[in-house]
Amino acid sequence: MNAVLIAVILMLVLSLLRVHVVLALIVGALAGGLIGGLGVEQTITVFSEGLGGSATVALSYALLGAFAVAIARTGLPDVMVNYVIRLVGRKNDTKKQTVSKALIFFLILVISCFSQNVIPIHIAFIPILIPPILKLLNELGVDRRAIASIMTFGLTAPYIFLPYGFGSIFHGIVVDNIVENGLTVDRAALPYAMAIPTLGLVAGLLVAVFVSYRKKRVYENKAVVGERENVQPATKASVIAAVVAIVVTLIIQTLTDSMILAGLSGIIILMVTRSLKWNEADSVVTDGMKMMAFIGFVMLSASGFAAVIRETGHVDTLVELVSVMVGENQAIAALFMLIVGLFITMGIGSSFSTIPIIATLFVPLGLAVGFSPIAIIALIGTAGALGDAGAPASDSTLGPTAGLNADGQHHHIWDTCVPTFLHFNIPLLIFGWVAALIL
């Protein structure tokens, strides 16, 4: 039995059965470690040592959560919601509601895409933007699974296709690892190689928004984490301070690549301008940590899970097994390579971390089967990206859930992971397979 397959499948099945994803990751890691021959003690040691891999990220999101709650205290979200509700008009004004939904969808899509390439802040915008507009989305009857799909698309498709921001990092990792394994490729070929797989993501997004989740879904108007009753109305000064704090946070995040420093800077600005009272700072930080605690603990557990998977050595075994099974049949080889990439990324939760693992054996396997260099690029890029959408431990799904579940009405697995897996991973696998055969 292959430890990687068993660990990932067990983790996914437990998650689908509504076992908390942190517990599912721990159980999956233990099973994978035992099957991989590590033993209980070594498995626990490796898992524990691997937890540190996401400690900085977890703290970063906790501070961003605190900043998001502080922004909510300024009254800016209420101003935004009231303004848009005035634009929406009466509840029975279907035309206005349709236009408003289309505008919201478009803005969330643009911001999500920009967070990867133009202003590379990744998911830092989600806790600031999404919780304040949940009541507005409820007013419009928006199915939050559509919003999750839009954000996950914006968090994945741009870096796969465009060589800017996080896309530059991803393309660099793909090229560097291909070259290290004996195949010279031109970095400029990456967008061309990943164009067809990206079209698969576009197709999935269109189906999610216009077919699967186009109908209205009813949610209760519940308070989001950190929201207080009887809040004083927003003042012009508090709104301006909130806007300035958001802009400064985005600038510092872009310049320093530190979400910790960015979140801290935003909180300090709100405190200096007295938009956030000094005696409220403690409760704000606590509420912010509550809002982002889920994503933090999942990412910590995912790091331990990934460490155990790598330590077993069964990733290489899995890829070698595929190379023996496929022979010289390109169609079967491409399909098995992509499926292996899907399983590895679903377990590790990061396409960036998957590329170095699979490139080591995918390059010689691709050459042996007779794939062209650009087809090998498409295979490795797609295999790495597969699973980033839909993986319970991926920040591309954890980020949307953290924002959409701020009022406790959005399930991580069934409302984010399953929809994004169905609408993005399946089309990506099909389009990536086609790309490998025709390029």
> Who contacts 171 (Cβ-Cβ below 8 Å, separation ≥6)?
163, 187, 190
* Dihedral class, residue 18 (left if φ above 0, else alpha if ψ from -120 to 50, else beta): left
Kind and range of the H or E run holding 240: helix 236-256
**What interhelical angle do 259-272 and 236-256 show, nearest 10?**
160
What one-character DSSP code corresponds to residue 276?
Answer: S
Which of 209, 177, 131, 208 has its CA nearest to residue 376? 177
Angstrom distances, CA of residue 380 to CA of 148, 356, 388: 26, 10, 14
Whole-number pLDDT of residue 87: 64
What one-character DSSP code corresponds to residue 224?
Answer: P
Measured in Å, how far apart are the chain's first and last C-alpha atoms? 35
Q: Are 370 and 330 in contact (CB under 8 A)?
A: yes
Which of 152, 169, 173 has its CA nearest to residue 388? 152
Q: How far apart are CA 393 and CA 349, in angstroms?
A: 5
What one-character DSSP code corresponds to residue 133?
Answer: G
Calculate the dihedral angle through the C-alpha atoms of 409, 412, 416, 420, rounding to the nearest 10 degrees.
Answer: -170
Which of 281, 363, 244, 279 has its CA nearest to residue 63? 281
| Sign of the CA dihedral running 281, 283, 288, 293 | positive
Calculate the dihedral angle through the C-alpha atoms of 391, 394, 400, 405, rounding to the nearest 10 degrees.
Answer: 80
Q: How far apart are CA 228 and CA 221, in angstroms?
A: 14
Whole-number pLDDT of residue 325: 73
Whole-number pLDDT of residue 201: 94
Q: Are 309 and 356 in contact (CB under 8 A)?
A: no
Which of 327, 322, 259, 330 has its CA nearest to residue 295? 259
Query: CA 96, 99, 104: angle at the middle one, nearest 5?
Result: 120
Whole-number pLDDT of residue 203: 95
Q: Hey, where are the domains in the chain?
A: 3-438
Kind and range of the H or E run holding 325: helix 314-326
Segments in the chain below pLDDT 70: 1, 52-55, 57-58, 61, 77-78, 80-82, 84-93, 118-121, 225-234, 257, 259, 290-295, 299, 315, 319, 322-323, 326-327, 347-350, 353
